Structure 1
Amino acid sequence: MLTRRDFGRGLGALGLAGGLPALAQKLRVMKVANTAAVNDPQQCFVTAGQHPKLDFYKPAGVDVEYVNMSSMTQALQSLRGGHVDFGPAVPGILLPAMAKDPTLDLVSVYKWLPRNANVIVVKPGSPIKTAADLAGKRIGVRSQGDSGIVITKTMLAELGLKDDTCEYIAIGDGAPAGAAIDNDRVDAMVAFDTAAARIELVGTALRYVPLTPKFAQVGSGWICVPRELLKKERKNLVALFQGIAKSTLFAHHNLDAGIDLHWAVYPESKPKGRTEEEARKELVFILKDRKNSWMRRPDDPDQRMGASSLAEWRANIEMSADSSKNPRLPEALGDPNRLFSNELIDDINAFDKRAVVEMAKAFRL
C-alpha cells in the first residue's frame, strides 16, 4: 500500500525521480488546523490530490500537513500563534473572536463548503418540528467548543427567540451520540451532516428538522489565513487552494476513488475489523450529502470555486451579532471587506476543470 513515505518511489515509477531533490528543497508544507480526525475520509476533498497518481500539490511547490485540534476555538488560537498556516472559519465563532481581540487578524480566502452542511436531528417521534422548537431544549453538540452551539444561537436569533434556557450537552460522535439521543439525554442535536450520518450508521433512527430560511442559504465553511501570510506567500496559497479545488472536483465526481486515495495516503485511516467493502459503504453513506455541499448551488451567480461575496459576509456579521447578543459587533469589526478576500480566486480557478472531471470519471487506482 502506498504511503506518503513512498512518494519518492512513486515518482521513480513515473519517471520523475530525477527532479525530486530540487522539488524537495522548494516544497512549502502548509499546516492546517484540523478539527476533524485526519483519518476521516471526509478529508478526501483535500487529501486525494496528495497521492502521486494525481499529484495536485507538490509540482506547484506545496503540500499539506494536518495538525489535529479539539475545537474551532483551539484552531483560531493556533492560527494566531503561528503554529498553523490555515484553518476553518466558522463565522459565528470567528467574528465574535475578532471583534473581541483586534490582534486576531485573519482573512477568509476560500469557501470550501458553499452550501449549508449543518443539520438539526431528533428522534422520529420527537415533538420538535421546526427550529423554533429548539428554544428551551437540551441540545446535543459534539463538544463544548463545537460550532453546534453557535449555530443553534444563530437560528434562534433569526426567529427572534432567545437561547437563554437552552442547555448544551456534549455527547460526542457516533455511538455515544446515538445513545444520548436514543435514551433522551438530549432533545435534539445540532451538528454537521457527516456527524448525523455517523449516528444513523450505528442504528439510531433520526428525523431531520429544516434549518431556518435565512441561515439555510448561507455557506457553512470557509478557510482563513493570517493576513500577513496572505501578503507574504500569495503564490504558495494559490498553489495550495488550487490543489484543494482540483481534489474537491475529483472527489465529488468519483467519491470511491477519493476514498481509495485517502486510504492510500493515510493507510492508518483504513477501518479495522470489517471488510473494505463494508467500510466503503459506510463512508459513501456518510459523504452522500457532504459531497454535494462541496460544490456551489446551480443558481449561485458566482460559480468560481472558493469565491465569497460581500452580501453573505454582511449576513454573517448580522447573524453573529444576533447570536452573540452583541449589537456593537459590526462596529467593532469595521469594514466587512476586510474579513474576506477573493484576490486569489481567479488564479485558483485557472485550471482545466473539465480535464479534472474526465480524469476522475476514468480513474482507477
Structure 2
Amino acid sequence: MDVELMGFKGTGTLIPQMLAKRVDIGYPNPDTLIISRAPGKDKLPLKFFYNATRASGWEFAVLADSPLKSLKDLDGRKVGVGAMTFGNVPITKAEFKELGIDASMVPVGIGSAAFLALQNKQIDALNLFDSQHATLETQGTAIRRLPQLPRYEALFSNGMVAHEDMIRDKPEVLAGFGRAMAKATVFCETNREACVRLFWKEYPNTKPAGDDAKVLADSVKVFSARFNKMLVFPEGKPRQWGQYNPDTWRDFAAALHEGGQLETLDVDLDSVYTNAFVDKFSDFDTAAVQAQAKAFKD
C-alpha cells in the first residue's frame, strides 16, 4: 500500500479537504462529527472506521512535589490548557462539572511556554495531551498525572475517518489500511525502539540532536505516551483491532452536552462510525509480525 502522509493544523483544516475528497483518510478528533449529527446541523458525510487511539489522550499533570493529589484538589485553582479552542476544553468542563470543581482555565499554548507556566507555578496543573507531558519529563521536570474519572479516561481520541462514498466504493482499501495499522501496532508494541528508528529513517529531520542513547530513550518515552493509548483493550478478551464501543460514543456525546457543545443528546451516533471492517483488520498472523519486529536490524 503506497500512502502519502499529509499534515494539517487540526481537525478544522482537515475536514474540508476530506469533504472535497482531496484526502482519502483522516485522523481527526471525534467531536466535530458527533456535533454534525445533532438536529438542525449539516451532517458531514464522513465516518470513523478504525478506532486508533483507544483512550483519552488528554491528561492533568502537576509538579511531582505539588500538594494536589486528585482532580477535586483543582477546585479554585488555575489549569493551563493549550487554547480555549482545543478539543479537550468542553470535555474538561464536563468532568469538572460532574466533580463540582470550579477551576480557572488559562490558555498557555504548548511546548516551552506551557512548561514554563507550570514550572514557575503560574498555573497549578497542565491539561495537555499525553506526548506533551512526556516531553516535559524528558527535559528533566518531574511530574505526576492526576487520575481522571474512568468514564472520561476511557473516551477515545483520534481515529481513522473516510468519506461515506469511499466506504461504499472502496471497502477493500479501507480494510487493508486498517489491517496495516493493526500490524504496525503489533510491530511497535514488540519493538518500540525499532518503531522510532524507522520513523527517523522515513523523516530524518525529526530526529533530535544529541547523544544517540538518550535521544532514543527520550523519543521512545514520548512515543509511548500516545502509543500506550492504542493498546487499551478489554482484559481477558481477544483484541478487536479498530473496533468502537457504542457505549463510549454515548459517553462522548454526554460529555460534549455537559461541556456546552451539544444542545441535546438526541444525536444519531450510529451514523458516526462503522465496525464493518473489524474482522478484516485482525486477519493476519500476529506471531509472524512479532517475529519480524524482534528480528529487526537497523
Give the TM-score normalised by structure 2: 0.88
One-letter amino acid matched to 1:221: N
Q: Does 1:217 align with 2:154?
A: yes
TM-superposed CA distance for 1:341, in Å, is 0.4
1:110 partnered with 2:78? no
Distance 2:240 2:168 in 1: 22
Selected match of 1:347 from 262, 280, 290: 280
| CA distance in structure 2 between the partners assigned to 1:105 and 1:243 by the alignment | 24
1: CA distance, partners of 2:295 / 2:224 = 21
Measured at CA, do residues 89 and 71 of structure 1 come closer, stay the same or move farther in structure 2, by a change above 3 Å? closer
Name the residue aligned to 1:235: 172
Shift of 1:134: 3.8
Within 5 A, what are the aligned runs for 1:1-365? 58=1, 63-99=2-38, 101-135=41-75, 137-159=77-99, 166-173=104-111, 175-272=112-209, 274-299=210-235, 301=237, 303-324=239-260, 326-328=262-264, 330-331=265-266, 333-334=267-268, 336-365=269-298
In the TM superposition, what whole-angstrom CA distance separates every residue of 1:211-247 from its partner, at most 9, and x where no partner exists? 1222123333322222222112211111211111111
Shift of 1:256: 0.8
Distance 1:81 1:122, change over 3 A: farther
AA at the equivalent of 1:126: S
The offset of 1:279, in angstroms, is 1.4
Q: Matched residue of 1:129: which SS?
A: coil
- The AA in structure 2 aligned to 1:250 is F
Distance 1:270 1:284 in 2: 12
C-alpha RMSD over aligned residues: 2.4
Tell me by how many angstroms 1:301 deviates.
Answer: 4.5
Decide whether the 8 Å contact of 1:158 with 1:214 is kept in 2: no
Once the two structures are superposed, residues 63-104 of structure 1 have per-residue CA deviations (whole angstroms, 9 ceiling, x without a partner) of 332222222333334333433222234334542254374242
> CA distance change for structure 1 residues 241 and 275 in 2, over 3 Å: closer, same or farther?
same
The higher relative CO (CA closer than 8 Å, separation ≥ 6) is in 2
Amino acid at match of 1:211: Q
Shift of 1:136: 5.0
The letter for the 2-side match of 1:190 is N
Helix, strand or coil at the partner of 2:106 = strand
Contact 2:52 2:242 in 1 (8 A): yes
- How far did residue 327 of structure 1 move? 4.1
Instruction: Please state which structure has a larger fraction of its residues in strand.
Output: 1
Point out the more displaced range, 147-156 or 305-314: 147-156
Counterparts of 1:191 and 1:291 in 2: how far apart (Å)? 16
Separation of aligned partners in 1, 2:160 and 2:73: 32
Change over 3 Å in CA distance of 1:196–1:74 after alignment to 2: same
Report the Cα distance in structure 1 between the residues aligned to 2:73 and 2:26, rounded to whole angstroms.
33
Over residues 282-323 of structure 1, what are the superposed CA-to-partner deviations in whole Å (9 max), with x where a residue is unaligned? 112223443332213351656211111222212222222112
SS at 2:49 equivalent:
strand
Q: How many angstroms apart in 2 are the aligned matches of 1:203 and 1:91? A: 33
132 and 107 in structure 1: CA distance in 2 versus 1, 3 angstrom threshold: farther
- Judged with a 3 Å threshold, the aligned counterparts in structure 2 of structure 1 residues 345 and 74 are, in CA distance, closer, same or farther, namely same
Q: What is the distance in 1 between the residues matched to 2:23 and 2:75?
A: 37
Cα distance in 2, alignment partners of residues 307 and 238 from structure 1: 12
- The 8 Å contact of residues 92 and 323 in structure 1, kept in 2 or not, is answered as no
Instruction: Report SS of the residue matched to 1:271.
Output: coil
Aligned amino acid, residue 109 of structure 2: I
CA distance in 2, matches of 1:228, 1:343: 15
